[in-house]
Amino acid sequence: MAGADEARMSIEILNLRDARQFMPDIADRLWHAWGQFSGETLADEVAALEAVVAAPAFPFTLVALVDGAFAGTVSGIASDLDERPELGPWVASLWVEPGHRGAGIARTLVEQATATLFAQGNTRVYLYAIPPLQALYLGMGWTLVEEKFGKLGVDIYIRDAPAVTGTP
């Protein structure tokens, strides 16, 4: 019956600039998932999101809502791996609430973030993920370029902008 429930759910993707009321939820999830392990405080996470909201277009954070409730988030940022500062921009900080996992929200968020980065003129976009997520990203059209990289042991992926065709 989960399929029927998923078909009825309404997913809306908003820019955090237009949905600031979800900033505490996002800061909490990102800090618990990653920030606390890198020595950041929850206040650091909030400050980083405030800087994103203050930026005109980039970096950006997207918010997924299901029937108006917070369901997930993803960001577009300049750099996401300290060991590879020359690479970017990145689709980063993907989080989907546990109760909404498996419903296509991660895919929707990643696709929207990628499309936004391409619309901003980027021709290649990067992301990294833990190895168990390899099938997800390969299935979404990402290309695996490096496996088990660096101290985090993550896989690095690229996605190139679609070629523009037409007559000159």
The reported pLDDT for the residue numbered 2 is 44
- The whole-number pLDDT of residue 166 equals 60
In a domain, 41, yes or no: yes
What domain range includes position 107?
2-122
Q: How far apart are the first and last CA of the chain?
A: 52
What SS3 state is found at 158? strand
Nearest to 25 by CA among 76, 54, 68, 89: 68
Residue 70 included in any domain: yes
pLDDT at position 167 is 52
Domain containing residue 108: CATH number = 3.40.630.30
| pLDDT value, residue 168 | 57
Q: Does 150 map to a domain?
A: no
57: CB partners within 8 A, 6+ apart? 120
In a domain, 23, yes or no: yes
What pLDDT is attached to residue 10?
A: 86
State residue 8's pLDDT score: 61
What's the domain count of the chain?
A: 1
Residue 108's pLDDT is 96
pLDDT at 3: 45
Q: Would you say residue 32 lies in a domain?
A: yes
By CB atoms closer than 10 A (0-12, 13-18, 19+), residue 144 is middle
Point out the residues of the chain with pLDDT beneath 50.
Answer: 1-7
pLDDT tens sequence across 49-89: 999 999 999 999 999 999 999 999 999 999 999 899 999 99
Structural domain includes residue 77 = yes
| Predicted TM-score (pTM) of this structure | 0.90
**Residue 130 lies inside a defined structural domain of this protein:** no
